[in-house]
Structure 1
Amino acid sequence: MKIKFLYSILLIMFISSKPVIAQNTIHPTSSNYQYPTEPEVREKLENWRDLKFGMIIHWGLYAVPGIIESWSICNEDWIYRDSTSKYDDYKKWYWGLSKDFNPTKFNPESWAKAAKDAGMKYVVFTTKHHDGFNMFDTKESDFKITSGPFANNPTSNVAKYVFEAFRKENFMIGAYFSKPDWHTQYYWWDRYATPDRNVNYDIRKNPWRWNKYKEFTYNQINELTSEYGKVDILWLDGGWVRPLETVNDEVRSWGAPIPPFSQHIDMPKIAKMARSNQPGLLIVDRTVHGPYENYRTPEQSIPKTKSDTPWESCITLGGAWGYVPNDNFKSATKVIHTLNEIVAKGGSLLLGVGPTAEGTLLDIQVTRLAEIGKWLEKNGEAIYGTRVTDYYNENNVFFTKGKGNTLYALVNILENSQVQSSISWSKNIPKAGSKVILLSENLSLNWEKKGEKVFINLPQEIVEKYKSYPALALKFEK
């Protein structure tokens, strides 16, 4: 117990003293994009693009001590551990957390309710992160939630019940799956050390072992897409597991070592099987540009400009993807401003939320989500189902395009500031004689064009009522 306690304290100290970040995967949203050719996939992709706002849930062993997800067992320069601890002992301690992970308060219905209250429309759940701990009852490994102290709980097959709970709320269902698996002997073989995130043996000299890994990965994805009900998105993380010929400057910029051989897992074969199980399945092979990256996923960032091709920004509500104690959570206003900018640039926001080891969301997380949803309830028309318009931003005003000639102006109000009695912008001028509607009140506002600008005038009672509001949404015809 003393060793476990020491490691917990050391890692929590690390989290507290360093910025809490996951590995960022920032990449362009338009270069080399290939639209899917299958009609069912294209249709689902457009349906997904209408949703705009989703939740990604990181939950696994790392929630027990409350540390950064998986990465602490990777031996790279940016990983900080206590210098007096032995690396192999640390890995054994980390993987041993499977004996302590007993989330007896797991209640996926409460997660789904919180997401629905936030105005979210799709979910991505971590069925397995890089550490190899499975949050579903896979037949390929005993390193799973259904083999530990939670095994006899009727909801021990966690992914199944998460998907069911969100399906009941009409969410589009996404299965996060890590292509690398640091626990299996087919990826990190204990014959050798584990110097970095990559496979730790030479695939060229050990083709049997790598083929076993490909079979292992194929079988797990087959399970997820055939035994867990309707799945809409297969969200594949770990972009360093890829054909060598796809490694480009973007991949090199991550700073991670790149072995001189392919770590390909035969994505064409996997995609064919997965879509046979789930017709129309969206596949997101993150950062591997081509036919199996149906939409782009810049991480913890927003692209500088708009894109007409499908993408989402995955950004955390707090500072970490999973649960860490004393995390700093973004305000509802900050999230709403982020959502407005992303949607105006043609993307979607996938907001990261991490449950505790007991299986609950923190009160502050639930409160933040409800505050966001309260705004979307009144103003969501300017978000959902919209597309990008040529002139998408001017200062603190972001524009989205609705049906026909309908445009929306999203006016972000800075925190600790208040709405002004007059709002103006150039271009995107409302059609002469048309109305400008304040969505939250369904109120027609007075407006006029002066020179090359439009000026929207707000009544004094609206200025007072909305003085601490996150953003105004205006609807007009162009």
Structure 2
Amino acid sequence: MPARQKTKVIVLSSFLITAKLLSQAHNVSEGYQKPVDPVVAKNVEEWQDLKFGLFMHWGTYSQWGIVESWSLCPEDESWTQRKPEHGKSYYEYVKNYENLQTSFNPVRFNPQKWADATKKAGMKYVVFTTKHHDGFAMFDTKQSDYKITSAKTPFSKNPKADITKEIFSTFRKEGFKIGAYFSKPDWHSDDYWWSYFPPKDRNVNYDPKKYPEKWKSFKDFTFNQLNEITSGYGKIDILWLDGGWVRPFNTIDPKVEWQRTIKVEQDIDMDKIGAMARKNQPGIIMVDRTVPGKWENYITPEQAVPEQPLSVPWESCITMGDSFSYVPNDNYKSTQKIIETLVKIISRGGNYLMNIAPGPDGDYDAVVYERLKEISGWMEKNQSAVFATRSVAPYHEGEFYYTRSKDGNTLNIFHLDTQSEYRAPSELTFAIPEQFTPTSLKILGISSQVQWKKNGNTIKVQLPQDRTALKYAAVIQVRQ
């Protein structure tokens, strides 16, 4: 294992995580290593400017409207339970699940529609699930026939059959940075879940040390698929590797419950994979989730927002609905909740990767476009306080949240009301850093001048009588 910096342990309990999704939450690695490659370091710094990204979980599972992949895993989790109508036995269920390939035909797939809507909402990068744990490839892999472009799949006859290619090229054309999600474990592969043994849990179902050739075959399969993605799909900025239980045994953190389930060595040879990815894509950001070391260039709390700023690059991946995968009539978060989450994340120095799940027909729910349109209206007025900013003390006081420009000359103060629908008050009073000397102040979205007064390190602002333009959050921008 690469040497690790002895940094303060960041424990999962320091995060606000909804009880419903606690079982899916990932821990944050305790040792972060800053990239030594100057190009990678520069790219991570620029990635931190982006602030708002799009995550998309999509696969054959969307046809059943169930959680992505996890129902295949024989772990007793409330969020992975199988529906009896999909199979009376486990093996019948797996057969029916994998047979979804023969009916997957998302004929309304139009990535340009997604790119247009999310770009207006301020999203700057996209991370797409090229392959989830179930092993179904949403790209034209040559390593398996369990893929979107297989003749078994009806959509293979569509001109846009290589979904990953279409998404990456469309979003790249619109100026997005491109991220490829890829699952290291593959529950369809006979070299990971060997049919000689029944699967027991999420982990490999044999001991790789006892069957080294079997494990080597799986490593080669994984390497070859990642080589395909990083060499055949244009410029890729982020390789986002999920399935942190596929890791060197000596990196297991026994304090983390799910890592205690790993009983065997699952070293996938990240040095070989990382070197190949950087050869194919110089400067690519590598995100080997939850595995500390040189291949985890930023950390990824899931369905969670840190209570305090973190000293390392980080991104919260949080769903717009309740689920990462498509669920009929999902409970989508309000626009106010989404903006509040964005403000909290950027005030603590992170990025917000918001997941939107396409349905089996190949499109988002109508309510998604409504949310994106509302976010767009807010972002048009307030984007200068969001992008290319960094955290700054006091970070968060009461209902006020702070960011700063990278040159330190602009202070942005967001005012929220997390208890009810936002209504801007007639007066706002907030603290500023003692060393900050303001010379001008404006409220974003309001063209008229506002009255303000500084007393010590406190500013009092009188808001205009007409405050209807201040929806979801008010943003005060102060320059020195």
Q: Do both share a fold (TM > 0.5)?
A: yes
Q: Tell me if 1:120 matches 2:123.
A: yes
- After TM superposition, give the deviation of residue 406 of structure 1 in Å: 1.4
Q: Shift in Å at residue 146 of structure 1?
A: 0.5
Match in the other structure for 1:25: 26
Q: Check whether the contact 2:254–2:260 (CA below 8 A) recurs between aligned residues.
A: no
In the alignment, what sits opposite 2:54? 55
Q: d(CA) in 2 for partners of 1:185 and 1:126?
A: 21
| 1:474 aligned residue (451, 473, 476) | 476
1:180: how far off?
0.2
Residue 126 to residue 398, structure 1, CA distance change in 2 (3 Å):
same
Question: Paired residue for 2:322?
Answer: 319
Choose 31-40 or 224-233, whichever is displaced more.
31-40
| 1:96-116 CA distance string (max 9 Å, x none) | 110110111111111111211
1:38 matched residue in structure 2:
37
How far did residue 433 of structure 1 move?
6.1
**1:446 counterpart (430, 448, 451):** 451
Q: Which runs of 4+ in 1 moved over 4 A?
A: 18-22, 429-433
Partner of 1:455: 460
Q: Does 1:232 align with 2:233?
A: no
Alignment partner, residue 268 of structure 1? 271
Greater mean alpha carbon deviation, residues 41-50 or residues 134-143: 41-50
- Structure 2 CA distance for aligned equivalents of residues 189 and 268 of structure 1: 25
Cα shift at 1:306: 0.3
- The whole-number CA distance in structure 1 between the counterparts of 2:437 and 2:147 is 63
Deviation at 1:455, TM superposition (A): 1.3
TM-score, structure 1 normalization:
0.91
- 1:210 correspondence with 2:209: no
**Kept after mapping to 1: 8 A contact 2:253/2:259:** no
CA distance in 2, matches of 1:65, 1:81: 11
**Displacement, 1:256?**
6.1
2:261 aligns with 257
Looking at structure 2, the residues matched to 277 and 65 of structure 1 have their Cα atoms a distance apart, in angstroms, of 36
Quote the Cα distance in structure 2 between the aligned partners of 1:191 and 1:341.
Answer: 49
Residues 431, 216 of structure 1: alpha-carbon distance in 2 compared, 3 angstrom cutoff? closer
Aligned to 1:361: 364
1:409 partnered with 2:413: yes
8 Å Cα contact 1:178-1:237 kept in structure 2: yes
Letter in 1 for 2:162: N
The structure-2 alpha-carbon separation of the partners of 1:120 and 1:38, relative to structure 1 and needing over 3 Å to count, comes to same
Distance 1:108 1:54, change over 3 A: same
Cα displacement (A) at 1:413: 3.2
Which residue identity does 2:319 align to in structure 1?
T
Contact 1:399 1:407 in 2 (8 A): yes
Residue 198 to residue 204, structure 1, CA distance change in 2 (3 Å): same
1:430–1:476: 8 Å Cα contact kept in structure 2? no
For 2:129 and 2:469, the matched residues in 1 are separated by 41
- Asked whether the equivalents of residues 446 and 469 of structure 2 are also in contact (C-alpha less than 8 Å), the reply is no
Name the counterpart of 2:333.
Answer: 330
Q: Please give the alpha-carbon distance, in whole angstroms, between the structure 2 residues aligned to 1:88 and 1:188.
A: 13
State the shift of 1:208 in Å: 0.2
Where does the alignment leave 5 or more consecutive residues of structure 2 unmatched? 1-18
User: Retained in 1: the 8 A contact 2:393–2:402?
Assistant: no
SS of equivalent to 1:372: helix
How does 1:95-110 map onto structure 2 within 5 Å?
Answer: 95-110=98-113
How big is each residue's C-alpha offset from its partner over 1:341-374, in whole Å with a ceiling of 9 and x where there is no partner?
A: 0000000000000001111111101111121121
> How far off its partner does 1:451 sit?
5.8
Match status 1:182 vs 2:182: no
CA contact (8 A) 1:429 1:453 kept: no
Are 2:191 and 2:215, in contact at CA under 8 Å, matched by a contact in 1? yes
Instruction: Give the Cα–Cα distance (whole angstroms) in 1 for the partners of residues 433 and 426 of structure 2.
Output: 20
Provide Cα deviations, 1:406-464, integer angstroms capped at 9, x if missing partner: 111011134334111111123436955611111222544222234653211112123x5
Q: In the alignment, what sits opposite 1:435?
A: 440
**Residue-by-residue CA offset, 1:282-341 (whole Å, 9 max, x unaligned):** 000000011000000000000111013100000000000111001000011100000000
Contact 1:296 1:312 in 2 (8 A): yes
Separation in structure 1 between the aligned mates of residue 364 and residue 83 of structure 2, nearest angstrom: 30
Cα distance in 1 between the residues matched to 2:23 and 2:127: 16
Maintained 8 Å contact 1:22/1:68: no
Aligned partner of residue 157 in structure 2, secondary structure: coil
Whole-angstrom CA distance in 2 between matches of 1:228 and 1:206: 34
Q: Which of these residues, 158, 164, 184, is aligned with residue 159 of structure 1? A: 164
Note the alpha carbon deviations across 1:60-81, whole angstroms, 9 max, x for none. Answer: 0111111110001100011323
Corresponding letter in the other structure for 1:327: D
| Amino acid paired to 2:474 | L
Task: Provide the residue aligned with 1:8 in structure 2.
Answer: none
Between the aligned partners of 2:109 and 2:101, the Cα distance in structure 1 is: 16
1:289-300 equivalences in 2 (<5 Å): 289-300=292-303
**Contact in 1 for aligned 2:49/2:388 (Cα 8 Å):** yes
- 1:422 corresponds, among 427, 431, 435, to 427
Q: Is the 8 A contact 2:253 2:260 kept in 1?
A: no
Shift in Å at residue 254 of structure 1? 2.9
Q: Does 1:241 align with 2:246?
A: yes
Instruction: Supply the AA of the counterpart residue of 1:330.
Output: K
Alignment partner of 2:223: what SS? helix
Asked if the contact 2:181–2:242 (Cα under 8 Å) also holds between the matched residues in 1, the reply is yes
Q: Which moved more, 1:173-182 or 1:80-89?
A: 80-89
Contact kept? 1:306, 1:344, Cα under 8 Å: yes
Match of 2:88 among 85, 88, 93: 85
Structure 2 counterpart of 1:85, one-letter code: K
- Please say which of residues 322-331 and 81-90 is displaced more in the overlay: 81-90
AA matched with 1:80: Q
- CA deviation string 1:361-391 (max 9, x = no partner): 1110111112112111110111100011131
Alpha-carbon separation, structure 2, partners of 1:349 and 1:56: 10
Query: Contact 2:223 / 2:273 at 8 angstroms: preserved in 1?
Result: yes
| Structure 2 CA distance for aligned equivalents of residues 89 and 433 of structure 1 | 68
2: CA distance, partners of 1:166 / 1:350: 15
SS in 1 for 2:389: coil
8 Å CA contact 2:445–2:469 kept in 1: the answer is: no
Aligned length: 454
Conservation of the 8 A alpha-carbon contact between 2:104 and 2:155: yes
193, 201, 204: which one pairs with 1:196? 201
Match of 1:342 in 2: 345
AA paired with 1:76? E
The residue correspondences of 1:125-136 to structure 2 (distance < 5 A) are 125-136=128-139
